[in-house]
């Protein structure tokens, strides 16, 4: 039976990634290790670019977000407080016939043992009952391997942000609303790693925790919380109606943060910001979808969660999740650590005393109810929960509250795979000897392209050309990743760069040396996507390239 087209595409991508040094199987010489992948020379550059663009967009270009770089192994209580020790598990089943081990919710297909990018049907043998399998990798800290030394490799980067919330707040001179961003490795012992790097056991995340005032606080200060419609100037359809809960391709909008925004407007804002980010690095809106989780799919503490999906060859799947997580995380760490996680807000204190009694009573009641609901859900006895919630709500009058959070959480590796998939294109033409050939072009956005410019002397046996080309390379090299290539015909060299996704190639020829005096010290710039060529003065190259890769 013919393989589905999308599998053929995945196989071509996997083979290209290996051939050109984007992605290798980890420990390949020993037969590999399932769910672990290495990035080769081009992949490492691509990944670096993606993380740097995320970091720049999310922190350096904003006044209201700062960064954090925390450890991978943290105090095990962090994972108790976050719920990961007790609930971060997948249902696992074993097949009594083929001895395979699967996720109970994904039993119809498994990755082919020979070609992990390919899915094959699983055998129909008798299965065991599902058992919860915790996805955290365990290790021991120190020389003694007992219960007290157990620690975990972090399954997400987010929790460190909550644990360091107070330190960052006190040292960064930020005030709510503000965010803390972090990128780094995360580890999940996935039952069935699948779809190439899409579901790996070691991967990287780029996460932002954006802390906001609870709606009751916004209302006390501003009189009213803006509805999403009021906050939006643009034309986003509100998602809900269609059966699959997908909005289709997201529509553009403009949102400028305002003091009267509650969690809904902030949530919508971050969904839009993140989609704009993807567009800015070359993933068109048409390749993305928003999936608004249905109420029954939401975690109990979450107010809303939107998955940004990408149309991968193996299906439309999650690239990033953007969740409105209420004050759950900080509250949990406050209870487990015994350290206060609340903030003091002078504006709230001043506003509160001016509120009509009816209004302050109403806001007090709503805050109290939310706090109590959370405490009871976490197992605090009714009476104690009422007492604690009363104390929390009394804090409002003193300007105190626990911030809520919006969490855009993206995976680096899934984004790399999306970028490669999106960039992949084939052209059929003729080679040097007029034979038909199909060539691959990776049409990366110049911002993410691993190599920004190829620099080539027309001929490698002409020292003047080589010298000039090396001069051009050295002029550009401090500013960007360039690749010098003098091997083979110029057509072959262009083709090699096309396959690596290099957006521009600079060729140094006899005109550069002054054969035509009016072209002295100019080079030919060749564009990857359409083969177009332009002549540019060497002195202008750096500025010209920088304008295109920033």
Q: How far is the CB of 232 from ligand ATP (least distance, A)?
A: 24
Q: How far is the CB of 381 from ligand ATP (least distance, A)?
A: 31
CB of 35 or CB of 342, closer to ligand ATP: 35
CB of 320 or CB of 345, closer to ligand ATP: 320
For the stretch 123-126, contacts whose Cβ atoms lie closer than 8 Å and that sit 24 or more positions apart, written own/partner, are 123/95, 123/97, 123/98, 124/97, 125/95, 125/96, 125/97, 125/98, 126/95, 126/96, 126/97
Tokens of 157: 């980067």
The pairing of beta strand 482-484 with beta strand 453-457: parallel
CB of 203 or CB of 368, closer to ligand ATP: 203
Q: How far is the CB of 508 from ligand ATP (least distance, A)?
A: 42
Q: How far is the CB of 410 from ligand ATP (least distance, A)?
A: 5
> Could you tell me which residues come within 8 angstroms of residue 27 by beta carbon, excluding any fewer than 6 positions away?
33, 36
Contacts to ligand ATP by CB under 6 A: 156, 188, 190, 199-200, 203, 205, 318-321, 409-411, 413-414
List the one residue out of 409, 453, 421 whose CA is nearest residue 282.
421
Give yes or no for a contact between 396 and 348, defined as CB atoms under 8 angstroms apart. Answer: yes
CB of 416 or CB of 482, closer to ligand ATP: 416
> Could you tell me which residues come within 8 angstroms of residue 18 by beta carbon, excluding any fewer than 6 positions away?
24, 25
CB of 156 or CB of 215, closer to ligand ATP: 156
For residues 15 and 185, what is the distance between their CA atoms, to the nearest angstrom? 25
Give the other-Cβ count within 10 Å of 19's Cβ.
11
CB of 197 or CB of 370, closer to ligand ATP: 197
Give yes or no for a contact between 403 and 327, defined as CB atoms under 8 angstroms apart. Answer: yes
DSSP H helices in 396-457: 412-423
CB of 348 or CB of 415, closer to ligand ATP: 415
Which residue in the shown chain puts its C-beta closest to ligand ATP? 411
CB of 25 or CB of 370, closer to ligand ATP: 25
List the one residue out of 386, 536, 438, 481 whose CA is nearest residue 45.
481
Give yes or no for a contact between 122 and 107, defined as CB atoms under 8 angstroms apart. Answer: yes
**Concatenated DSSP letters of 242-270:** STT-B--SPPPEE----TTB-HHHHHHHH
Q: How far is the CB of 207 from ligand ATP (least distance, A)?
A: 7
Q: How far is the CB of 328 from ligand ATP (least distance, A)?
A: 15
Q: How far is the CB of 304 from ligand ATP (least distance, A)?
A: 14
Q: How far is the CB of 293 from ligand ATP (least distance, A)?
A: 10
């Amino acid at each position: 039976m013919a393989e589905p087209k999308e599998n053929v595409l995945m196989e071509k991508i996997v083979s290209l990634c290996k051939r050109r040094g984007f992605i290798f199987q980890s420990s390949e010489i020993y037969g590999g290790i399932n769910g672990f992948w290495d990035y080769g020379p081009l992949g490492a550059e691509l990944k670096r670019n993606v993380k740097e663009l995320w970091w720049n967009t999310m922190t350096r270009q904003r006044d209201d977000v700062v960064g954090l770089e925390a450890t991978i192994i943290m105090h095990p209580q962090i994972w108790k407080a976050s719920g990961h020790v007790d609930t971060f598990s997948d249902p696992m089943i074993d097949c009594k016939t083929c001895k395979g081990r699967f996720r109970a919710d994904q039993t119809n297909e498994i990755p082919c043992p020979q070609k992990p990018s390919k899915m094959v049907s699983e055998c129909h043998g008798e299965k065991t009952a599902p058992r919860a399998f915790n996805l955290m990798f365990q290790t021991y800290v120190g020389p003694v391997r007992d219960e007290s030394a157990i620690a975990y490799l972090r399954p997400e980067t987010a929790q460190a942000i909550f644990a360091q919330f107070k330190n960052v707040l006190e040292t960064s001179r930020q005030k709510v609303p503000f965010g803390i961003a972090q990128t780094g490795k995360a580890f999940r012992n996935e039952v069935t790693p699948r779809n190439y790097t899409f579901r790996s056991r070691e991967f990287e995340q780029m996460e932002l925790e954006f802390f906001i005032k609870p709606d009751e606080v916004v209302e006390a200060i501003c009189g009213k919380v803006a509805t999403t419609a009021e906050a939006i100037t643009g034309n986003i359809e509100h998602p809900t109606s269609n059966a699959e809960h997908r909005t289709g391709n997201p529509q553009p909008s403009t949102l400028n943060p305002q003091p009267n925004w509650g969690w809904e407007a902030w949530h919508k804002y971050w969904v839009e910001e993140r989609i704009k980010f993807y567009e800015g690095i070359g993933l068109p809106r048409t390749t993305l979808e928003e999936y608004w989780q249905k109420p029954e799919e939401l975690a109990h503490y979450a107010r809303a969660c939107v998955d940004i999906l990408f149309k991968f060859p193996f299906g439309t799947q999650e690239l990033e999740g953007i969740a409105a997580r209420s004050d759950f995380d900080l509250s949990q760490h406050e209870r487990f650590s015994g350290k206060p996680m609340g903030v003091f807000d002078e504006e709230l204190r001043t506003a509160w005393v001016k509120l009509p009694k009816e209004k302050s009573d109403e806001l007090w009641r709503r805050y109290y109810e939310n706090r109590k609901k959370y405490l009871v859900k976490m197992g605090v006895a009714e009476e104690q929960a009422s007492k604690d919630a009363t104390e929390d709500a009394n804090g409002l009058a003193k300007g105190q509250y626990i911030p809520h959070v919006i969490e855009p959480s993206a995976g680096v590796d899934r984004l790399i795979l999306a970028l490669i998939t999106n960039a992949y294109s084939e052209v059929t033409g003729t080679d040097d000897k007029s034979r038909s050939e199909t060539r691959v072009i990776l049409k990366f956005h110049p911002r993410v392209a691993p190599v920004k410019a190829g620099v080539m002397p027309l001929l490698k046996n002409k020292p003047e050309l080589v010298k000039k080309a090396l001069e051009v390379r050295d002029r550009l090299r401090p500013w960007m990743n360039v690749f010098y290539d003098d091997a083979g015909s110029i057509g072959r060299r262009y083709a090699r760069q096309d396959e690596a996704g290099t957006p521009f190639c600079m060729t140094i020829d006899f005109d550069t040396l002054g054969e035509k005096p009016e072209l002295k010290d100019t080079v030919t710039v060749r564009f990857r996507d359409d083969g177009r060529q332009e002549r540019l003065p060497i002195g202008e190259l750096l500025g010209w390239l920088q304008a295109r890769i920033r």
